[in-house]
Structure 1
Amino acid sequence: METTKTDDMKISILASGSSGNVTYIETPKQRVLVDAGLSGKKIANLMASIGKDLSDVDSLFVTHEHTDHCKSVGVLARKYHLDVYANQGTWEAMNSKIGEIPIGQKHLFDMGKTKSFFDLDVESFGVSHDAAEPQFYQFYHNGHSFVILTDTGYVSEHLEGIVRNADGYLIECNHDIEMLRMGAYPWSLKQRILGDQGHLSNEDGANTLIDVLGNKTKQIYLGHLSKDNNVKELAHLTVEATMKQQDLGVNRDFKIYDTDPNKATKLVTI
């Protein structure tokens, strides 16, 4: 009979894509969301699909003020009395989008800092994106870590050092470069996406993973795919092939999973 561990960190990517992003993380003493880029009703339904309830969530960590990450921050904070964490630049940029939140639920989380929440430690780090003060997070519990890294035009060596050898990653694979170049987007938007403050391509995501992968890494999720300039199969194939070219243990030492803008991934242990 399999023994059930009671001191695990578990995660589900509730939604990931250009239309909206939400991640759920739980430990024995904490239940948190990262971003709330869909309607409150849709997030509640996604939570229910993995057997969880929004009323049990303690905190919400916001990465930046773009709508696909902050759409229902205010709604969830007011309805479920969540503590919301973001840095000063993000608070100032999203205040007009999210409505009033009780002052006691608004918290500063400065870039480059680590905060402890009972049995969950959360580290923030800056990324290169065209937002006010974009930052993402690494979560630590019981010797394990999970990194969320999307919405960045490039990943510096310094950032690679911060997130190296995590147990799990949600990494951006926003676009296929040729699909983007040949697509219908205006040139100015294409330049923005391809630029240093834009988004990681499938190849960029793969190369970042090659640089940060460690012997602890077991689970990799490919996220924030563009609905117009990418498809799951292409992103997955590109990342898998690129990593196999480096003789890395794809499907042996670690597994690569797809995410979806409308369907939660299975709640799994990190």
Structure 2
Amino acid sequence: MGLSFCSFASGSSGNCYLVESENTVILIDVGITGKRILAGLEENGLEAGDVDAILLTHEHIDHVRSIRMIGRKAGHAEVYASEGTFAGIEEKLLPRGRWSPVPDEEFAIGDIAVRAFSLSHDAIEPTGYTLRSGGRQVTVVTDTGVVTEEIFEQMKTADLLVLEANHEVNILRMGSYPYPLQQRILGDEGHLSNETAGRVLCSLLDQMHGERIPRVLLAHLSHENNTPQQAYLTVKNILFERDYFVDRDVKLAVIRRDETSPLLEV
């Protein structure tokens, strides 16, 4: 067995992902209610006590909302994040003995190897994560305004890539958000647009030379400035313009904001 992935929620109102191997259970972010997280675990035949670790990407509330509750329920789970993230949420945390700063190098949680990497977002020290087990890799890249070389290197080897497609630029520009907020979202420390996600995927496929077909899940969609249909269509059209086709060259789907996804075998 390699890895399995399930999204409990993905979007500006809350984020939580489950990554599971044969012997290890990890949550990435706990930004929805504890009740929903427990329900998501139950749907996958798990309970809080089965969770071995919680990885936090950054301190914004839509990623850490239930850290105290789930941390208590998951009694032996270690909490991992950057030093900056911990500094940003210290008042919400469990006793210090329950959390560990992510190291610079790859580290092990049970039979899953984890690598943290830097993101470009308006948080103190945001991180994305790559998880490997059984020869399979899941990489999560959301809440970043740009895709740096370091991020791209992690994406290149992913069998399952969770990639932000937060907004459609024209919808954002014509919408109700005030101009400063629009600029924040569009900036280098904001969020990836559908258009940027599509261009990044083209670059990714350029380097793969058709040697394998990655699975990509578009994630962290804005409720105000995007829809699942719009994100999928924009990315699909950008791929088509470069002669890349969904299902032939890449498996593409969208994670719903408020629904638990099916459990995907990676």
Class of the TM-score when normalised by the shorter of the 2 chains: over 0.9
CA distance in 2, matches of 1:65, 1:205: 23
Query: Which residue of 2 is the match for residue 77 of structure 1?
Result: 71
Query: Which residue of 1 is the match for residue 90 of structure 2?
Result: 95
Deviation at 1:68, TM superposition (A): 0.5
Q: TM-score, normalised by structure 1?
A: 0.92
Would the aligned equivalents of 2:236 and 2:245 in 1 still touch at CA under 8 Å? no
CA distance in 2, matches of 1:123, 1:212: 19
1:239 aligns with 2:231: no
Question: How many residues matched?
Answer: 261
Please give the per-residue CA displacement for 1:193-242, whole angstroms capped at 9, x wherever unaligned. 00000000001111112222433443110100000000110000011111
Query: Which residue of 1 is the match for residue 199 of structure 2?
Result: 207
Decide which moves more: 49-58 or 126-135. Answer: 49-58
* Consecutive unaligned residues in structure 1, runs of 5 or more: 1-6
Query: Which residue of 2 is the match for residue 258 of structure 1?
Result: 254
Aligned-pair identity (%): 36
User: How is 1:120-269 mapped onto 2 (pairs within 5 angstroms)?
Assistant: 120-213=112-205, 214=208, 215-269=211-265
Q: In the alignment, which of 17, 20, 23 is matched to residue 17 of structure 2? A: 23
Name the SS of the counterpart of 1:227 in structure 2: coil
Q: In the alignment, which of 100, 104, 114 is matched to residue 107 of structure 1? A: 100
Would the aligned equivalents of 1:165 and 1:212 in 2 still touch at CA under 8 Å? no
Name the SS of the counterpart of 2:231 in structure 1: helix
Structure 1 counterpart of 2:177, one-letter code: Y
CA distance in 1, matches of 2:95, 2:150: 36
Structure 2 counterpart of 1:32, one-letter code: I
Change over 3 Å in CA distance of 1:165–1:210 after alignment to 2: farther
CA distance in 1, matches of 2:84, 2:212: 34
Deviation at 1:12, TM superposition (A): 0.7
Query: Which residue of 1 is the match for residue 33 of structure 2?
Result: 39
RMSD: 1.4
CA distance in 2, matches of 1:196, 1:14: 27
Deviation at 1:34, TM superposition (A): 0.2
Would the aligned equivalents of 2:53 and 2:109 in 1 still touch at CA under 8 Å? no
* Consecutive unaligned residues in structure 2, runs of 5 or more: none
CA distance in 2, matches of 1:8, 1:155: 27
Structure 1 counterpart of 2:85, one-letter code: T
Please give the per-residue CA displacement for 1:7-35, whole angstroms capped at 9, x wherever unaligned. 22111111101100011001011100000
Deviation at 1:50, TM superposition (A): 3.3
CA distance in 2, matches of 1:21, 1:135: 14
CA distance in 2, matches of 1:245, 1:51: 42
Please give the per-residue CA displacement for 1:28-65, whole angstroms capped at 9, x wherever unaligned. 11100000000101111122233332221110000000
Name the SS of the counterpart of 2:89 in structure 1: helix
